Amino acid sequence: MRISIIGAGPGGLTCARILQKHGIGVTVYDRDAHSAARDQGGTLDLHADDGQIALREAGLLDEFFRQARPEGQEMRALEPETGRLLSHHEPAKDELFRPEIDRGQLRELLLGSLEPGTVRWGRALEEVGGPDDGPRRLRFTDGTTVETDLVVGADGASSRVRPAVSAAVPQYTGVGFLEAWFHDVENAHPELSALVGQGSAVAADGERALFAQRNSGGHIRVYAIQQRPVDWLTGVSDTAAIRARLLDIFAGWAPSMLRMITDNDGPYVDRPLFALPVPHIWAHSPTVTLLGDAAHLMPPLGVGANLAMLDACELALALAGSATIDDAVRAYEATMLPRSTETARALENGAKGLLERHDTEDLARLQQ
């Protein structure tokens, strides 16, 4: 089998690792020039009932626990107007249901488990060609082509593989995040560090929300969340002007909360939230399939990486245990598509739900 995975994120790399464990050759293509070419994003929690299942099948669960942060499961709900603690979840000493790990650390863990040369960096896919019954032809932006028997689209929200099986495109949810970074928080931002604790802290008033999340290495990322047009920052690019707009939007919030807007290190990053239609299904192809956000892009409520890795695990095991690629893809999609549809329906309005006042139990349910 000539298997080509597009995208070296958690899903694509997990699939490659499990395939190689079963003696199946695979090549991963990624548009990044190298593994450290860009920031991989903040921290994520890997759940015992999906992400950790995939890591166990990959033979990497013990190493994951060595690097993970169980204390990151702490969650605080704060009152916007005062900064007062409304509710607090402190994880038990042996609680390992959803420990946190930085996305970059998870990627390096997976990359280090692969055979040398598995990932081909600097290969941005242009399109998938060739007949539906194969072989498929991958054309990259550098003009090179590759012939393959199966294309696995693990290339996220803006997948270039998806058009080979589906005309669906992600739609804006009406909610956007504005990300801010804080570094060396124990020394440079001690008040924020104390406010957030070892995990996450959230405050919301029904229209606006601030969500802060501790990362490893003394870093915190904060997300200012609101309903707004996708192009709300058109013509506004400098940090001071964006900060002034945010302070106007969050007027009336406690000074301790507004530090999340005024004291950040470096520029803001605009992250409008998109989602695929629900349900997102497609006519079966024996030579192309999708996993993770390429298949079922949803609001970022703690399920994305977990579902991508579970998808990857199930696809790899199907390929290892089936007589043909076609049989494997059918078996995989028969499980993945209903599961992702059910989850997507449950989270369809989840992005707007982040703006509602919650206690920590509400937030935990929302992220499950």
- The whole model's pTM is what? 0.93
pLDDT one-digit tens code per residue, 172-200: 999 999 999 999 999 999 999 999 999 99
The pLDDT > 90 percentage for the chain reads 87
Average pLDDT over residues 53-68: 97
Position 248 confidence tier, pLDDT thresholds 50, 70, 90:
very high
Which CATH topology does 173-274+352-366 take?
D-Amino Acid Oxidase; Chain A, domain 2 (3.30.9)
- Count Cβ atoms within 10 A of the Cβ of residue 262 and give its class: 0-12 exposed, 13-18 middle, 19 or more buried: exposed
CA distances from 343 to 92, 205, 224, 355 (A): 27, 26, 25, 20
Position 368 confidence tier, pLDDT thresholds 50, 70, 90:
very low
Look at residue 164 and tell me whether its pLDDT is greater than 70.
yes
pLDDT one-digit tens code per residue, 72-87: 999 999 999 999 999 9
* Interatomic CA distance for residues 105 and 108, integer angstroms: 5
Look at residue 360 and tell me whether its pLDDT is greater than 80.
no
Position 367 confidence tier, pLDDT thresholds 50, 70, 90:
very low
Look at residue 40 and tell me whether its pLDDT is greater than 80.
no
For the chain, domain boundaries = 3-69+101-170+276-349, 173-274+352-366
Average pLDDT over residues 271-283: 95
Look at residue 366 and tell me whether its pLDDT is greater than 50.
no
Average pLDDT over residues 134-143: 97
pLDDT one-digit tens code per residue, 250-269: 999 999 999 999 999 999 99
pLDDT one-digit tens code per residue, 333-354: 999 999 999 999 988 877 778 8
Q: What is the mean pLDDT of the chain?
A: 93
The pLDDT score that the predictor gives to residue 361 is 59
Position 364 confidence tier, pLDDT thresholds 50, 70, 90:
low
Position 93 confidence tier, pLDDT thresholds 50, 70, 90:
confident
The pLDDT > 70 percentage for the chain reads 97
The pLDDT score that the predictor gives to residue 39 is 77
Q: Return left, alpha or beta for 7; rule: phi > 0 is left, psi -120 to 50 is alpha, else beta.
A: left
DSSP notation for 176-239: EEEEEEE-SHHHH-HHHHHHHTTSEEEEE-SSEEEEEEEETTTEEEEEEEEE--TTTTTT--SH
> Class assignment of domain 3-69+101-170+276-349?
alpha beta
- Spell out the alpha helix ranges (H) of 250-292: 255-262
* Interatomic CA distance for residues 287 and 68, integer angstroms: 36
Look at residue 302 and tell me whether its pLDDT is greater than 70.
yes
Which two tokens mark 144? Answer: 């090179």
